[in-house]
Structure 1
């Protein structure tokens, strides 16, 4: 049987279109891009609406607070939720809720019944919906395109976001002037109807059918944090994130002061924001070309250098033309770094924890930018804006060699498919899902000459165990028998033990195979559950013939 081969025109068309050669991605991307424009219009409308309701600067600033607070409160739990339920269905439910919420508030605005409290509450709820949806949107991306087109898909999402931030405010202002303050809200409700329609049409395979009950939300959050702390490849991505964004936050936090120092204030501030967005948009379009020439590590390094150049230019010149160039450069570098880090995170997170891992990734970015923007503001008050920007530029450059040992993972094969080679543990009685904790003990016997090699391998295995849900892990050496070791660790519950079995990947199995090659006899495994006072265990069956 011959293997089907794409004809040259079809192959060329697919190469040119990249991620957009896949209809499911193209349709969902278009719908989400329209919705992002709607969000940007609503942001503009909400800020302007508050000035018509209350001119108190403190109250006006609460709109921004209401929009950013949910990002810190809900992003991580939202990531756990995206892993527990089907992320596509989660987006559908949230989008339907947004349609109802926005239509209700648009009605209040149309009837002149909107008040500062209702505006702040609506802003908070919309931001919460966005925070819950974000990890789910990221989690469904690998189901829309193959891994080879993942970088292009990430870049395309960057194009949609930056394009929306460029045209959304202008379009929102135009709509407000010509059709009234309620019009952006009605239009945003309509864009969410488009998202619902696109996801209803899109029929990519759902997440694998689960044979076990879903994880509990609080336990899922703990497991996600444990996985992030014990996944060395994901830690590398977070380390490279923290080497760039705390320093890039300097120009975001100080940009209004940079614009004021140029002599024109608000007008120049708006143009600088547009220059940053334009640079981000250009960089998004250039990602495919960049990826053909450099790997993810060098892409982040180049983006860090670009960030440092932008910071330095902001710090040494008052020329507005040069500042516009610095803004463009900074926006381009921002997207280059973000896209590279996001692709690495996608490649090292198994599907069962992808939503939580990406939520942690977003939280690190949000947190570092928010906290460090304020910190650079304090630094600027003490040493001056120019010196603070130059100091941030030096920090961005020093971050490159400081974190170069943390390697990012591109599209090279990392087999995160569940191996399912562990047998189900047997219990002498019916076990409830929440019974626990479970103590797992594994006895190994090795040749004495392999001791050091065994301990290195078992340490790697321990990191895998902790990453997949174990805690209180340790390995112990028998004092009475040379070459005998016991590994011990705890699992939160019987249900978590069942999930633990399904999380072990083919990549993990290589370490276990290395350990098995050193054993002089098969390992002995025991499962023990925490004893509960007053609990009666069933009597063992009577021996035959008794």
Structure 2
């Protein structure tokens, strides 16, 4: 095969470099029945969820399995201590706001000021987590939160805090958490094998809620005995352990053969990937509504303690502790529950638990009954969030997982931030009980949405790089920034296979665009109707290489089926061409002789 100037005829990564098998080859998936890809039951296929098959239920369901990996265990313990301090700080901030005589709206904004930065900055943090060293990013975030916590403690100690200054400090701590979150969650996949990932995510949730179950009660004691400044100081100290562990950890090297993506391009790639992934879009939408309804209980907890059960800071800590214990129990038994319930059934049970907890809390005036309701609500809280998190991670390849997790966090915690403000405003106008009942209604609405947009099964996808593509040897020397680059793939399709070919091309278009292709189109030859040409652009040669290397094994099913439809005994013909801008030729000062030199061509776009 002759390579023409400005083009390459080497194989496309999603097609393969080996000789294609004929349609009857048993190793190639046969064409699916008409309409198979449009059946609602095949929605998971549209996201690659069935590409490699397999059950989503691991043989070993021990919830403690990830602790066999030393680095995960060390970071988990250090995170537990840090989260313990964070919960103590949260109790101190919430009760200090009450002590300052702030309105219900300002009290609820303590929760908002912590979660709002996650909505605002998580996507940037996710892009940083995917393009820079995640360990160093976490170190920076932890050091930043340590400094802010020290400053907050000093301001509280000298009595200079106002409600709005307190909100500024909590916002800054939330900003550090937003920077840390995607890097930490994406790093879990670097610490444990993929099979242990669901259990590791559940353990992370359990760790947070172990702190939640005791931290608030201890925080209440500290605030009652020594004031909010002491609670803030304890939080500052709690960051030290994690800083030490992270400083000692040597995270796996991520080979950077290509030039690092710019921040703007990395953010755009993450948004594009999620927007073209039906599973991820469903998770984001459901988590947004979930956060809106679920935020009422933690946001209004100080008012529940003060107004509904007539308690003080210790009661407040006990209520939060009951919520946290429920979350710990829910996280511990989540692996076993996943054996009995589908992913959607799991989330529905969690939403019912949260709605019931909100309703009982709204009507209860007894501390013990409220604690029992919050125990159930805490279990529902962690079961839903861990399910959303696992689904996102299992549906995301490593190159983009930080950004997909960031967008998930923006949805879930954005809903919580909005909900915290909303329920505070409702409380000021109607009362705590009415706000809790309204939040229960939102949780039930999220449950009903699931009948129309259910979550797919969290299957174990093979999202490792497909590995078929090899960078071609080009006849024209080009630079990494040269472009745009146009790629065409020529198929020969018999008339009887056209309906199936076109349906597969709908999925191929989604995969191409998801992985960075632009201006995708499908063309038919007017003189040879059996010839179809797929075409797409990438802005530079580097982006062309990046696009091809992003293909995963889960994408291979569609590619193999397309190859099976192609004329037996041949493989689709691939051309790569660079676009030339001829406007420079009109410039009288242009050196037209340079047009023959690709690296000095003034008409070459870059």
The TM-score range, normalised by the shorter chain, is 0.7 to 0.9
Q: Gaps (5+ residues) in structure 2? A: 1-59, 585-589, 599-606
The whole-number CA distance in structure 2 between the counterparts of 1:215 and 1:108 is: 41
Distance 1:358 1:313 in 2: 33
Deviates more, 1:455-464 or 1:263-272: 263-272
Question: Where in structure 1 are there 5+ consecutive unaligned residues?
Answer: 1-12
The reply on whether 1:395 has 2:445 as its aligned counterpart is yes
Aligned counterpart in structure 1 of residue 457 of structure 2, from 404, 408, 413: 408
Q: CA deviation at 1:298?
A: 2.9
Counterpart pick for 1:430 among 447, 463, 478 = 478
How far does residue 257 in structure 1 lie from its aligned partner after superposition? 7.1
Per-residue CA deviations over 1:358-392 (Å, capped at 9, x if unaligned) read 01111111122333455567788699558635643
Q: Name the residue aligned to 1:10.
A: none
1:458 is matched with which residue: 505, 526, 535? 505
Instruction: Deviation per CA, 1:282-338: give whole Å up to 9, x if none.
Output: 212222332343343332232233234334545677666544433222211111111
* Pairwise CA distance, 1:233: 3.2
Q: Which residue of 2 aligns with 1:217?
A: 263
CA contact (8 A) 2:355 2:443 kept: yes
CA drift of 1:445 comes to 2.2
1:97 CA drift (Å): 3.6
Q: Would the alpha carbon gap of residues 391 and 38 (structure 1) be closer, same or farther in structure 2, given more than 3 Å must change?
A: closer
Following the alignment from structure 2 to structure 1, what is the Cα–Cα distance between the partners of residues 475 and 348? 53
- C-alpha spacing 1:37/1:536, structure 2 compared with 1 (3 Å): farther
For residue 38 of structure 1, the aligned residue among 59, 81, 85 is 85
Whether the 8 Å CA contact 1:307–1:396 is kept in 2: the answer is no
The residue that corresponds to 1:345 in the other structure is 392
Aligned to 2:486: 439
Change (3 A) 1:532 1:155: farther
Assess if the C-alpha contact under 8 Å between 2:156 and 2:229 holds in 1: yes
Q: Are residue 528 (structure 1) and residue 574 (structure 2) matched? A: no
C-alpha change, 1:190 and 1:256, in structure 2 (3 Å) is closer
Task: Indicate if the aligned counterparts of 1:442 and 1:526 stay in contact, CA closer than 8 A.
Answer: no
Q: d(CA) in 2 for partners of 1:270 and 1:530?
A: 68
Within a 5 Å distance, the mapping from 1:186-205 to structure 2 comes to 186-205=233-252
- Which residue of the partner structure matches residue 192 of structure 2? 145
Query: 242-251 or 298-307, which moves further after superposition?
Result: 242-251
2:341 pairs with 1:294: yes
Q: CA deviation at 1:37?
A: 1.5
Q: Which sits farther off after the overlay, 361-370 or 375-384? A: 375-384
Counterpart for residue 4 of structure 2: none
Structure-2 change in CA distance of 1:200 and 1:378 (3 Å) = closer
CA contact (8 A) 2:84 2:212 kept: yes
Q: CA contact under 8 A between 1:234 and 1:345: conserved in structure 2?
A: yes
Aligned residues: 523
Distance 1:205-1:527 versus aligned 2 partners, 3 A rule: same
Are the counterparts in 2 of residues 243 and 399 from structure 1 also a CA contact under 8 Å? no
Determine which structure has the larger helix proportion and give its number: 1
Matched, 1:497 2:539: no
> For residues 65 and 295 of structure 1, do their structure 2 counterparts lie closer, same or farther at Cα, with a shift above 3 Å needed?
closer
CA shift in 2, pair 1:318/1:525, >3 Å: farther
Which residue number in structure 1 is paired with residue 182 of structure 2? Answer: 135
| Secondary structure at the counterpart of residue 256 of structure 2 | coil
Q: Distance in 2 between matches of 1:252 and 1:241?
A: 17
Tell me if structure 1 keeps the 8 A contact 2:290–2:443.
no
Further displaced range: 62-71 or 372-381? 372-381
Q: Cα distance 1:360–1:332, how it changes in 2: closer, same or farther (>3 A)?
A: same
- 1:23 match: 70
- Aligned in 2, Cα 1:424/1:317: closer, same or farther, shift over 3 Å? same
* CA distance 1:500–1:37, change in 2 (3 Å): same
- Three-state SS of the structure 2 residue aligned to 1:527 is strand
Across the aligned residues of Structure 1 and Structure 2, the Cα RMSD in angstroms comes to 3.7
CA displacement 1:503-523 (0-9 Å, x = unmatched): 111121221121112222422
| Alpha-carbon distance change, 505 to 130 in structure 1, aligned in 2, over 3 angstroms | same
Are residues 1:159 and 2:206 paired?
yes
Aligned to 1:68: 115
Residue 391 to residue 83, structure 1, CA distance change in 2 (3 Å): same
Shifted more, 344-353 versus 247-256: the winner is 247-256
- Taking the aligned partners of 1:142 and 1:279, their CA distance within structure 2 comes to 26
Residue 277 in 1 paired to residue 324 in 2? yes
Structure 2: how far apart are the matches of 1:308 and 1:48? Answer: 26
Deviation at 1:20, TM superposition (A): 1.7
Does structure 1 conserve the Cα–Cα contact (< 8 Å) formed by 2:216 and 2:317? no
Deviations 1:382-428 (A, max 9, x none): 99558635643542442332223x41314x3x211112322325373
* Shift in CA distance, 532/36, structure 1 to aligned 2, threshold 3 Å: farther
Given the superposition, is the C-alpha separation of residues 382 and 170 from structure 1 closer, same or farther in structure 2, using an over 3 Å criterion?
Answer: closer
Q: CA deviation at 1:177?
A: 6.0
Distance of 1:272 and 1:173 partners within structure 2: 11
Does the CA-based 8 Å contact 1:256-1:265 persist in structure 2?
no
Distance 2:299 2:125 in 1: 27
In structure 2, relative to structure 1, the CA distance for the partners of 1:478 and 1:34 (3 Å cut) is same
**2:416 and 2:456 mapped to 1: Cα distance?**
23
Superposed CA deviations along residues 136-155 of structure 1, whole A, max 9, x for unmatched, are 11001122222333222222
SS in 1 for 2:519: strand
